[in-house]
């Protein structure tokens, strides 16, 4: 298969489009209309990852964020923030039956941050992923959620509204190191799946055309843990908005916007903290960076008048 030259993302044009997708805040809105996000992940060792993803989804504008985690992680995650709805269920024998009624009400599901590698939990997560795919729920698969796909990529082939967010090593495990091999393996995913490969230049892989769209560099040299979780959480909210607005290529637009946004968060926090930058510092930058890059100023004027 002949390699296709990467296509630079036309970022100014795309960001202008995304600004039209950001929902207006009006007095008529009710809780849940701007997004109900669900996150499947969180275990004893990894409580920060689900927190960063879930709180990022809310800080960019979702109304509700649910975390479905291992029982021994729940109290810790709840202690991080009272804004999150935390369900200590993943290690229950009837976890799938307990989670599915909640998933029916959720708009976008993120599977993976802090999930861990416990075989029983991975089996539960796989069953929940299968439910989401059958129900055509929009799904973002990240971190240990991608581990599920290493030997079972066919789970998502031909499915709709699926975004994979591997880093460099996760991408190699999923699709191989050889570019032609990677392109061939990605092509079988089908038109309903988009791959956002995180790196120095984030890349968006389009399976049906074998195109690779490359985003500009950004951020800093500081690569602390938690940044990928912030991306998956903000991406979940952005994905819901692009789907709701019936934007053409919603997964692509949401992936580009979230990639750009997280790099801007990193830049903003790095200017203040340098090498001491942590993911929690990036969370604190969300209001300023979002307002600067995405917010509709007319919309804010309207809110201030109410």
pTM for the whole structure: 0.95
> Which pLDDT belongs to residue 301?
43
| Averaged pLDDT, groups of 10, the chain, 306 residues long | 78 95 94 98 98 98 98 98 98 98 98 98 98 98 97 96 97 95 95 96 95 95 96 98 97 98 98 98 98 72 38
pLDDT of residue 2: 54
Q: Are 146 and 228 in contact (CB under 8 A)?
A: no
pLDDT at residue number 305: 39
pLDDT at res. 43 = 98
pLDDT for 295: 87
Long-range pairs for 177-185 at CB < 8 Å and ≥24 separation? 179/3, 180/1, 180/3, 183/1, 183/3, 183/4, 183/210, 184/1, 185/153
């Amino acid at each position: 298969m002949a390699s296709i030259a990467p296509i630079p993302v036309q970022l100014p044009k795309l960001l202008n489009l995304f600004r039209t997708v950001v929902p207006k805040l009006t007095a008529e809105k009710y809780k849940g209309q701007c997004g109900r996000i669900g996150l499947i992940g969180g275990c004893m060792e990894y409580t920060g990852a689900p927190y960063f993803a879930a709180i990022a989804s809310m800080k960019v504008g979702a109304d509700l964020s649910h975390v479905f985690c291992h029982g021994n992680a729940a109290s810790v995650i709840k202690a991080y923030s009272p804004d999150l709805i935390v369900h200590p269920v993943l290690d229950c024998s009837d976890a799938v039956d307990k989670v599915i009624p909640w998933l029916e009400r959720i708009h976008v599901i993120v599977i993976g941050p802090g999930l861990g590698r416990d075989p029983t939990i991975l089996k539960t997560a796989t069953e929940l992923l299968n439910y989401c795919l059958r129900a055509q729920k929009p799904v973002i698969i990240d971190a240990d959620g991608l581990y599920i796909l290493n030997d079972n990529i066919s789970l998502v082939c031909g499915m709709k509204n699926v975004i994979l967010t591997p880093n460099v090593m996760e991408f190699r495990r999923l699709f191989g190191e050889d570019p032609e091999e990677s392109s061939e393996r990605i092509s079988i995913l089908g038109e309903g799946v988009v791959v956002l490969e995180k790196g120095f230049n984030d890349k968006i892989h389009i399976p049906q055309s074998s195109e690779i769209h490359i985003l500009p560099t950004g951020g800093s040299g500081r690569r602390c843990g938690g940044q990928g979780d912030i991306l998956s959480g903000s991406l979940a909210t952005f994905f819901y908005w692009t789907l709701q607005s019936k934007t053409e290529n919603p997964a692509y637009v949401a992936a580009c916007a979230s990639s750009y946004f997280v790099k801007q968060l990193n830049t903003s926090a790095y200017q203040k903290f340098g090498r001491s930058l942590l993911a929690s510092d990036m969370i604190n930058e969300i209001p300023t960076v979002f307002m600067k890059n995405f917010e509709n100023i007319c919309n804010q004027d309207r809110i201030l008048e109410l």
